[in-house]
Chain A
Amino acid sequence: MANLKLQNLYKMYDQGNGKKDGVYAVNNLNLEIEDGTFLGILGPSGCGKSTTLRMIAGLEEITKGEIAIGDMVINDIHPKERKIGLAFEDYALYPPLSVYNNIAFCLKANKVDKKEIDQRVRKIAKTMKVEELLDAKVEGLSGGQKQRVNIARALVRNPRILLLDEPLSHLDGKMRQILRGEIKRLHKEIKCTTILVTHDQMEALSLADHIAIMKLGVLQQYGTPDEIYNDPVNIFVADFIGEPPMNLLPVTVQKADGGFCFLLLDGTRIKAPAKFHSILEDGQQYTMGIRPTSIVIADEKDYDAQFTVDVFENLGDERIISIRILEDFLTIVIEDMLVFQKGSRIYVKMKEDLLYLFDRETGERVREQGQRNGG
């Protein structure tokens, strides 16, 4: 067992006539994944996450760069010999076979001893909680059961790395939640390096110990879920992570008595946190980011900004206050059992350390001095 290393990895697809189409599906990807890590590769469709996974599995040719496990480069090793278990989103089970034979299939193909097959299949079936289903045919199974069998099949060959491609996206809400928990427990139990590809940020946040966010083939940020959530490096990451999404509003810096404030498009003023004072200048333009949960209700004695409520929604678990800023909404999520009427005035404070500034042009994070760089 050893670390998985992706080095300067590129992928460009053929157009079909031998010519490359000129667009990198994966563009200079560098990742080092420690043994036993649960990595989530997250991004919108077309970001290159599945391509990366398929290159690791050996299903896709590598255009440039290296994939290595420990010191061994595996670029030219046949998929069969890479010792990688792969579970696709759409199950891809063999329908005429029983669950048992589905799980045992690759062991049989490799002419493993019968007794050993039986032992291994039963052990993995127990782990994945499909023991009672071993004799059943695949067709009759529910989506959740199929995905369990699918993962069991990937695990039975004792892979060095387990690859999961959107394993939960075909399941409905409740089943998805249950299997999410199971996968989390499974990883703790078998400690196998696992790579999960998903477009669902909730899934990545809840399962992975490390997350790589990609956009158009380029890695945006690599870090723990906490870093990704609380310390985004650019607007893309900030916007992609979090539900409801982060408020991202264009602001102009204005000098105010003793400090600065941010001027929103509709003229509303927000007091700028002291931590930014050293980098701010009158007239600068930024995009300000703050999560709906980082804004708290205050009173008229001490507040950072005041707004007029446009929409108030009580969703039971939480309450959402929306404030219209021209075409957009500024959203505030509160936990307290408070009720606001449309048109009422509210005073809020911003959680200072969770207020971010981004460059209007490049979308890159603008950091106050002395703050750590990168996640």
Chain B
Amino acid sequence: MARIRLDHVTKKYGSITALKDVSIDVKDNEFYVIFGPAGAGKTSVLNLIAGISDPEEGDILFDDAYMNYVEPRERDVAMVFENYALYPHKTVYENIASSMRTKKYRQPEEVVDREVKRVAAMMNISELLERKPTQASNGQRQRIALGRALVRNPNVFLMDEPLAHLDAKLRNSMRKELKSMQEAFHTTTIYVTHDYTEAMSLGDRIAVIHEGSICQVGTGNEVYYLPETEFVAKLFGDCEINILKGCVTEEKGRTGIRLPYGEEVYPVPDDVGERLQCAGVKDVDIGFRGWAIDYSREPRKGYVRGKIYTHEPLGNKVELTVSLGDDMIRFIVHVDERFEIDEAIYLHFNMDKGIFFHSETKEYLVRHNEEVMRGGGKNG
């Protein structure tokens, strides 16, 4: 158990800079997710903490101990690798027991046996103990790899995309298993993933990383509802957020937004209007998530006309792509209605549900009801 800090860390591989001036502060016992697209530098962070590689600049601290250049085996960290990295020539039992049989972490054989069996029961792999990892399925291997890490009580668990190679169904259920086990870990955990559902589900906090820099650190609700940049907003959600160009207007003291699809002025809620006036911006980008767009099949006041580009029924919902001016708007409809390609449809943009960004810096400005959003909704 430890607090893990990276302080202004830079990591280069040859001429390529993998991490630029990265600072993170993971609290003791926290489940911390590092989330980002492929090649963002997620694994590099884990490698630095594990001691597999050393930073060019900056410090790594476990609690207050300075850890740069400390050998991996002296750091007392446990890691789950993306490709599991099991020892193929050893049985599952020996794999899980391996750390307790080294000079550094040696335990008496009774303890080894008890611990291996405890972890195997927890991961539901008790019947595999005598087999070799090559005889186990992908999902089982993943649980063996987790078991090998969980059997220890290290300073920190590092998990590098442990669910990435599982099929959708197994990934779903393993994600829940991990979540329900979380409390039993009693250790700081740093979890790397490129799947936003894993990040939002598991993370106490999420660090979004892109091209070697941290874009935002926050709870799942914060990164989803209050993203600091458009880039972060686009990474979360199944149906990518729609970004519309808007123009701020003022009439009789009320702030409104004009979209490029007509003369209609959409009123904004007061809290948003105030902030927009304070910032003094003229042009804004407004993000609407897939479930935040209203539609009608008949013309209505305040609705703009678009044309259905494609419609994709997915069981209990339909994903609609509508061409509106030069833009494609993609959103989700929750009804069993039938749609036809090229049919007319009318869209309404409720500014209560929009996320406002600066049109040049692409940085977050405001959204309605910030504090409610931060909490993720009302208690049920």
Task: Report which A residues bind B (CB closer than 8 A).
Answer: 174, 180-182, 184-185, 188, 202, 205-207, 225-226, 229, 241-245, 291, 293, 297, 310-311, 313-317, 319-320, 322, 324, 327, 329, 335-341, 344, 346
Contact = CB atoms under 8 A, between A and B. Distances in A.
A300 to B, nearest CB: 13
Contact of B336 (A226, A315, A337, A346): A226
Interface stretch (B13-21, B173-181, B258-266): B173-181
Contacts of B168: 243
Looking at chain A's contact residues, the main secondary structure is mixed
Interface string B330-344: 001010100001100
Interface string B205-227: 00000000000000011001100
Contacts of A297: 380
B180 A339 contact: no
B361 interface: no
B315 interface: yes
B167 to A, nearest CB: 10
Given A297-B380, A335-B291, A335-B334, A181 B200 contact: no
Contacts of A316: 196, 200, 220, 224-225, 236-237, 289
B37 to A, nearest CB: 10
B290 interface: yes
A293 B319 CA distance: 16
B321 interface: yes
Given A242-B315, A316-B220, 4 more contacts: A181-B321, A314-B201, A314-B221, A316-B200
Looking at chain B's contact residues, the main secondary structure is mixed
A185 B309 contact: yes
Interface string B159-193: 00000000011001101100110000000000000
Contacts of A243: 168, 314-315
B204 to A, nearest CB: 13
B200 A339 contact: no
Q: Which 3 A-B residue pairs are closest in the complex by CB-CB distance?
A: A337-B377, A206-B312, A338-B380
Interface in B308-330: 309-316, 319, 321
A243 to B, nearest CB: 7
Contacts of A229: 315-316
Interface string B223-260: 01100000000001111100000000000000000000
B340 to A, nearest CB: 9
Contacts of A329: 173, 176
B315 A184 contact: no
Contacts of A336: 377, 380
A314 B200 contact: yes
26 contacts: A184-B310, A184-B312, A185-B310, A188-B342, A205-B312, A205-B314, A205-B315, A206-B312, A244-B172, A245-B169, A291-B316, A313-B201, A314-B220, A314-B221, A314-B224, A314-B376, A315-B200, A315-B201, A316-B289, A317-B237, A319-B377, A329-B173, A337-B376, A338-B377, A338-B380, A346-B380
Contacts of B175: 313
Contacts of A226: 313, 336
